[in-house]
Structure 1
Amino acid sequence: MRLRQHSEIAIISGAFLFGFALFFKTELANVALILFYAAVVFNYFVSKSGLPKLDRKIVFGTTLMLLISILISIVHLKDAEPILNTLGRRITYLLSPIMFLLIPNKQLKVLTKYAFKGLIIGGVLSSIFLILNILNEYYFTRPFLSIDKDILNFYHTNFYFTRIVDIHPSYYGMYLITALAYIYFSDGVKYKILNVIFSIIIIVSIIFLNSRIILFLFFVLHLISLVSFFQKRINSIFKTLMASTIVFVLLLGVLFVTTKSTYAFQRIVKETLWELTYKVDDNYNSSGKGDSRLARWHAALNLIIKKPLLGYGVLSESNELLYEYKRLGMKSAAENEYNAHNQYLGFTLEGGIFSFLALLCFLFFNLYISLKSRDLLFFFFVISVSSICFIENYLIRNAGVVFVAFFSSMFLFNYVKNDS
C-alpha cells in the first residue's frame, strides 16, 4: 500500500517538475520527464491495474502519428544512424502515449492539475527573473521609474529578453501562453487574487518576448475568452459576437496607441509584412539583411515538387535546402543553414505527402476531440500548436517535442478515459 502511495506521489511530482523545468532548461525538463515515466511504470506494476479498453481510432490522435516520417525514411536507408538519431530525439512521441495509457483515470485528473501548476509557477518565477533583469539593464542608464519607448526596443525584447535562460522566445512563449490559458479556462490556483497577479506577470513577459506568433495567439486567447465570457451572460449568439468584437477592438485600439512608436510594434507590423513577401537578400530593417520566410517556403516547395511521395528522409531537410538556397541566390539562408521554418513543409520534405497527412490527421483529430468535449483549454492548445507549425519547425526541436508529447497525450487521454 505504501509503495503504491509513494509511486502516485512520484507521478504527480514528476508532472509538476516537468511543467516547472520547461522555463529554465530543456535538459532539466527531460530529466523530470524520465522520472515521470519511471514512476508511471513502477506504479502500474505495483497497482496491478489492467489496461483500459479504448477505441483503436484513438491512435490517430496520439503523437505516434508524428513518427511516420521516420518510418518512411527507411525507404531512403543508406545508413541507419540518421534514423536512430532522429528516433532518439523524438522518442517521447512514442513513450508519452504509452505512459498516459498506463495511468488510471483518477490519477490522471490529479497529475493534470499539478502539471499545469508547475507550468504556472515556473512561468511566473522565470518571468519575474527575466523582467527584473531587463529592468535592471534599462534603469542602468536612466532615472529610476522613468519609462519611455526604449523599454520595448531591440535590446530589451525577443532574444535579448530570454538570453539568460537560453530558450527561443517562441518556444518560451508557447509555455507561457498555455499557462495563461489554464488560468483563464480552468481553476488556475486556489486564490483569485493570485490568478490576477500571475496573469499580469505572464502578460508583461509576453509583451517583452515580442514574438509575433505568441502575440497572435495572445489575441486569439483573449478573443476566445471574451466570446466565452459573454456567451454565459447573453443568450443571443449575435449579441455575444457583437459584444466580443467591440471589446476586442477596443483592447486592440488601446494597445495600438500605447505601442505604435516602439520598436516592438514596428517589428510586429513591418517585419511581418516583409516575412510574408518574397524577398531575397533584402533589408528587413535599417540594419538587417536577409531572405524572407516566404522565399524559404518557396525553396522548400521546389524540393517537395521533385519528391512529393516519400520526401528526402529524416535529417536531410537542411542539406537539401542549402543547395536550393544557393541555387536561388539566398545568401543569408544558406550561411545560416536555415530549415524551412514551417513544420508542414518540414515533415513533407522528410517523409513526403504521407508524413504531411499524418501531421494533419494528428492535429484535426485532436481539434475534433477538443470541440466534441467543449474543452476550451484543449482547443486552444491544438490551435496554438497548429499555428506555430506555420512559422517554426516546432515538432522536431527538443523543446517542442517534449512539450507537445506530454501535454497533447495528457489532454487526449483525459478525454478518452472519461468518455470510456
Structure 2
Amino acid sequence: MPNNNTKTATFLLKLFLIINSAIILVPDKFKGIPVIGLLLSAIFYFIVNKSDKNLNLKLFRVSTSFFLVLLISISYSENTSYAFRKLETGLSLLAYPLVFMLLYNCKEKLDKKLIETLKWVFVIALTVFLISTFTYYFLTEPHYTFKSTIIHYHTLVDLRIIGYEIHSIYLSMHIGVGILFLINSMSNTQKTNILYHLFLLVLFFVFLAILNKRGPIIALGIIGIIYLIRSKIKTKAFIYVSALTAVFVLTMLFIPKFNNINRFKELIDIEGLRTNPNSSTALRLSIYNCAYKQAIKSPIIGYGWGDVKGVLDDCYQDENPNLLLKNYNTHNQFLSILLSTGIIGLAVFLFYFYYLFKFSNKNRNRLLFFLLLYFGLNMLSENILEREDGVIFFSFFINLFLFNSEKNTDKITEEL
C-alpha cells in the first residue's frame, strides 16, 4: 500500500501536469507558477519514487544543449539586463527537461493513459479559450455584430482581455498542436467517439481560418501531405484529410476578412513588394536582409543573447526606419540563434532537432515527429523560443513525449 508521501507526491504531480497542459487558461503574469510548481512536485515525486537506475543524462544533455549555449552567450553580451530578461522567459527550456528526466528515473513512469489525458486537457482548455473569448468580444463590444467579431477576432485576442493577451500567430500555433493531438487520438479511438473528434477538428479549422495566419496554416498543410505519404495514402486517412481540407478551404474563401484582404496573396504578389514596402511580406524580407547582413559580421559566436535587438535596430535605422516603430525581432528562430550564438549555436540547435527526429523515428513516435516538424516549420517565420506564449507549450510537450517515447518503458501505476 502506498504511504502518505507517495499519495501526496502523486496528487501534486498529477495536478501540476494538468495545469501545465491547460496553461493557456492561466493569466499571463502567473504562467511561471505552474512551471515552478511542476518542477518542485517532480523533485518531490523523484525523492519518493526514485529507482536504482542512473538518470538519463543523455536525453537531458541533448534537450538542454542549445539553451546552455544561449546561456553562455550572456557572458559576452553587452546588454546584460535585457539578456537576463530573456533568460527568465526561456527558463522553461531548462525546467521541463529536468522535470521529465527526474520522472524518467522513477520506479513508476507516466503511462499512456495519463499522457492521453494531458493531450485532452490541452484540447479542452484551448476550446474553452476560443469559445469564451469569441463570446466575450461579441457580447461586450458595443458596436460589434457576429460578422465584425469574426473580422476583428485576430486583433482582439492580442489586445482586448488584460492579462490573457496572446498574439494571434501563437494562438494559431496552439490550434495547430490541438489538431495534431486530435488526429493522433482518432487513430486510437472507437468509431462511436469519432464524431467528437471531427466536431472539434472542424471548430479548430474554423478558428484557424478566422485568425488567417499564414505560417501555422502552411505548416499544417505540409504536415498533411507528409502524413498522407507516411500513411501510404490509406483510404481512411485520405478521406479524413480531404474532408477537413475542403472544410478549411471553403471557410477561408467565404469567411469575412478585414478590408477583404487575402494575406496569402502577398506571397505571390511580387509587384506588391515594390509598391507597398510596408506590407507584411516586404517587412519580413527587410528584417531577414538585416539579420543576414549583421550575422556575417560576427559569424562564429554571434553577438550574445542580449545584444540581438540592438544589432538589428542599428541595421533597421539604415535599411527601413519603419521597422523601429514596432520593435521587430528576426521573425525566424534560426536567424535569431545565429545572431545570438553564431554558427556554433546554430549547429547545436540543428543537431538538437536532428537527434529528436531520429529518436522519434527509432521509437515510432509519430506524434513527436509531427510536433517537431510543426514547430520547426513555424520557427522559419517566428521566434517561438523567445516568447512565453511559444516557449512554454513547446518545451512542455516536446519533453513530455521525448522522455516517454521509448517502446519498453515501465508504466506508472493506476494511482497516477
Class of the TM-score when normalised by the shorter of the 2 chains? 0.7 to 0.9
2: CA distance, partners of 1:226 / 1:172: 26
Query: Is the 1:309–1:351 Cα contact (8 Å) retained in structure 2?
Result: yes
Aligned to 2:330: 340
* CA displacement 1:379-417 (0-9 Å, x = unmatched): 121011111111111111122222222111111111247
Q: Which residue of 2 aligns with 1:327?
A: 318
1:373 is the counterpart of 2:373? no
Match of 1:171 in 2: 170
* Alpha-carbon distance in 2 for matches of 1:61, 1:418: 21
Deviations 1:352-398 (A, max 9, x none): 11111122111222122222333221112101111111111111112
- Residue correspondence of structure 1 range 250-269 to structure 2 within 5 A: 254=250, 257-258=253-254, 262-263=257-258, 266-269=261-264
1:81–1:100 CA distance, 2 compared to 1 (3 A): same
Q: Which amino acid aligns with 1:160?
A: L
Report the equivalent of 2:88: 88
Q: Cα distance, 1:343 vs. partner?
A: 0.9
Distance 1:266 1:77, change over 3 A: closer
Select the residue among 7, 10, 30 that pairs with 2:9. Answer: 7
Residues 246, 82 of structure 1: alpha-carbon distance in 2 compared, 3 angstrom cutoff:
closer
Query: Once the 2 structures are TM-superposed, how far is the Cα of residue 160 of structure 1 from its aligned partner?
Result: 2.5
In structure 2, which of residues 385, 388, 399 is the aligned counterpart of residue 395 of structure 1? 385
Contact 2:301 2:340 in 1 (8 A): yes
- Equivalent position SS for 2:327: coil
Report the secondary structure of 1:44's partner residue: helix
Q: Structure 1, residues 77-122: CA drift from partner, whole Å, max 9, x if none?
A: 5576555444333222222212111113743235423322221111
Q: 1:266 to 1:11 in 2, by over 3 A?
A: same
Give 1:39 deviation, angstroms. 0.9
CA contact under 8 A between 2:301 and 2:342: conserved in structure 1? yes
1:119 aligns with 2:122: yes
1:94-153 deviations in Å (ceiling 9; x for gaps) = 2221211111374323542332222111111111112323554799666x8xx6xx6753
**Alpha-carbon distance in 2 for matches of 1:41, 1:345:** 35
TM-superposition CA deviations, 1:313-368 (whole Å, max 9, x none): 1121111111111112x121022221111111111111111111122111222122
Q: TM-score, normalised by structure 2?
A: 0.82
Counterpart of 1:49 in structure 2 is 51
Match for 1:13: what amino acid?
Answer: L
* 407-416 or 81-90: bigger deviation: 81-90
> For 1:59 and 1:48, how far apart are their aligned partners in 2?
17
Which deviates further from its counterpart, 126-135 or 374-383?
A: 126-135
Alpha carbons 1:159, 1:169 under 8 Å: kept: yes
2:67 aligns to what? 66
Residues 417/66 of structure 1: CA separation in 2 closer, same or farther (3 Å cut): farther
Partner of 1:14, secondary structure, is helix
Taking structure 1 as reference, are residues 172 and 368 closer, same or farther at Cα in structure 2, changes over 3 Å only?
same
Check 1:93–1:51 CA distance in 2 against 1; reply closer, same or farther (3 A cut): farther
Checking the alignment, whether the CA contact within 8 Å between 1:311 and 1:350 is kept in structure 2 is: yes
1:405 and 2:395 matched: yes
Q: Is the 2:219–2:374 Cα contact (8 Å) retained in structure 1?
A: yes
- After superposition, residues 75-224 of structure 1 pair within 5 angstroms as 76=76, 81-103=81-103, 104=106, 106-109=108-111, 110-136=113-139, 152-153=150-151, 155-156=152-153, 158-163=154-159, 164=161, 165-186=164-185, 191-224=193-226
Counterpart Cα distance in 2 of 1:249 and 1:118? 25
C-alpha separation in 2, matches of 1:247 and 1:192: 14
For structure 1, the 5+ residue unaligned runs are 235-239
User: CA 1:346–1:279 in structure 2 vs 1: closer, same or farther (change >3 Å)?
Assistant: farther
Which whole-Å CA distance do the structure 1 matches of 2:144 and 2:167 have between them? 27
Whole-angstrom CA distance in 1 between matches of 2:114 and 2:302? 39
| Count of paired positions | 399
Once residues 276 and 287 of structure 2 are traced to their aligned partners in structure 1, the CA distance between those partners, rounded to angstroms, is: 12
The alignment yields a C-alpha RMSD, in angstroms, of 3.6
Change beyond 3 A, Cα 1:275–1:27: farther
Distance 1:20 1:100, change over 3 A: same
- Tell which deviates more after alignment, 202-211 or 315-324: 202-211
Query: Could you tell me which residue of structure 1 aligns to residue 405 of structure 2?
Result: 415
Give the whole-Å Cα distance in 2 for the aligned partners of 1:275 and 1:119.
40
Q: Distance in 2 between matches of 1:88 and 1:309?
A: 25
Q: Give the drift of 1:166.
A: 0.6
The one-letter code sitting in structure 1 at the alignment partner of 2:65 is L
Counterpart residue identity of residue 168, structure 1: H
AA aligned opposite 1:269: F
Change (3 A) 1:277 1:379: farther
* 8 A contact 2:291–2:330 mirrored in 1: yes
- The residue number in structure 2 matching 1:237 is none
**Per-residue deviation, residues 189-234 of structure 1 (Å, max 9, x unmatched):** 9944433333233222222222211222333454455556664559
- For the residue of structure 2 that corresponds to 1:186, the secondary structure is helix
Cα distance change of structure 1 residues 138 and 166 upon mapping to structure 2, 3 Å threshold: closer
Tell me the amino acid that sits aligned with residue 46 of structure 1: V
CA 307–402 in structure 1, closer or farther in 2 if over 3 Å, else same: same
Q: 1:30 to 1:91 in 2, by over 3 A?
A: same
Against the structure 1 CA distance between its residues 256 and 30, is the aligned structure 2 distance closer, same or farther, given a 3 Å change threshold?
A: closer
State the distance in 1 between where 2:400 and 2:270 align: 35
Q: Please give the TM-score of this superposition, normalised by the length of structure 1.
A: 0.81
State the one-letter code of the partner of 2:178. Answer: A
Give the distance between the partners of 2:70 and 2:383, measured in 1 at CA.
Answer: 14
Quote the Cα distance in structure 1 between the aligned partners of 2:229 and 2:70.
Answer: 38
Read off the aligned partner of 2:303 and give its amino acid letter: Y
- Who is 2:414 aligned against? none
Match of 2:292 among 283, 291, 301: 301
Partner secondary structure for residue 414 of structure 1: coil
